[in-house]
Structure 1
Amino acid sequence: MTGFTLRSTVSLPYGATLTRVRALLADAGFGVLTEIDLQATLRAKLGVEIPPQVILGACRPQLAHQALEADSRVATLLPCNVVVAADGERTRVEVFDPAVMTAFSEAPGLAAVAGEARERLSVMMGALTDDREDPDAARA
């Protein structure tokens, strides 16, 4: 498996993109359950410097519940990670592609849940970007 994310790069600065991603996730019905500041964590734990980067753990409770009902092992793939990272003058946004869950489980009903989550996140990414990369090309 080579492609497992939906990816976009935007011209907005990191801080503005992070704010926009949070708002668009909310618009898509996702809440942010966790936040990991990779820059601060790696600086504190390893003394290394990386550009600003955060992992947001996004969840739509209704979809998470449906996925868990289909296959409880899906919990290991939750929440859906959304990465916002400074990339020079631009900002990269990557989202774990929920459709990948179906590669790990053939449980009845999981494909529909993953499909809805992917559609919601794809709409969010489309609203975010000015030069969106094709998510299906990343999966090829």
Structure 2
Amino acid sequence: MKYYISKTLTRDFAAVVERVIEALKAEGFGVLTDIDVKETMKKKLNIDFQDYRILGACNPPLAHQALTADDKIGTMLPCNVIVQDIGGGKIEVAAIDPAISMQQVGNPALRTIAESVTSKLQRVIDAI
């Protein structure tokens, strides 16, 4: 079962990251965390790694609904979106599919919320 939504682009890495952040904002998400995996791997392990960013995206109203429905769901927040250089001039953007991941939780109250988040993240991927 595919647990993410993705798209591959032929563009500049930094430009794609900025475009993803803009598309997230347009769907009501803020970026709470921005992890530069390439920089971290170099600093901590002295390993050269491809450009790879993990953006922790949060839509506050939907996060509040989810936390109200299940106070442990914070273990699955925020929604991660990755931007990575996959070589050959290609950049991949992938986002978690909350509707799939929430199935494992088994709380029916979360289904509608997760479907709404999935729809928003799909529009983000479509917009980049």
Regarding TM over 0.5, the answer is yes
**Amino acid aligned to 1:103:** Q
3-state SS of paired residue (1:43): helix
* Offset of residue 102 of structure 1: 2.3
Residue identity in the other structure for 1:122: Q
Structure 1 residue 12: Cα displacement = 1.2
Using a 3 Å threshold, how does the CA distance of structure 1 residues 34 and 80 change in structure 2: closer, same or farther? same
Deviation at 1:106, TM superposition (A): 2.1
Aligned twin of 2:102: 102
1:115 is aligned with what amino acid?
E
- Segments of 5+ residues of structure 1 without an aligned counterpart are 129-140
Q: How many residues align?
A: 127
Distance 2:122 2:95 in 1: 9
CA-based RMSD of the aligned residues comes to: 1.0
Aligned to 1:72: 71
Runs of 4+ in 1 over 3 A off after TM superposition: none
SS in 2 for 1:109: helix
Secondary structure of the structure 2 residue equivalent to 1:3: coil
- Point out which structure has higher relative CO (alpha carbons under 8 A, 6+ apart): 1
SS in 1 for 2:108: coil
TM-score, reference length from structure 2: 0.94
Matches within 5 A, 1:1-80: 2-80=1-79
Q: Give the share of equivalent positions with the same residue, in percent.
A: 37
Query: Normalising by structure 1, what TM-score?
Result: 0.87
Deviations 1:3-59 (A, max 9, x none): 211111011111110010010000011000011100000111111111111100000
Gaps of 5+ in 2: none
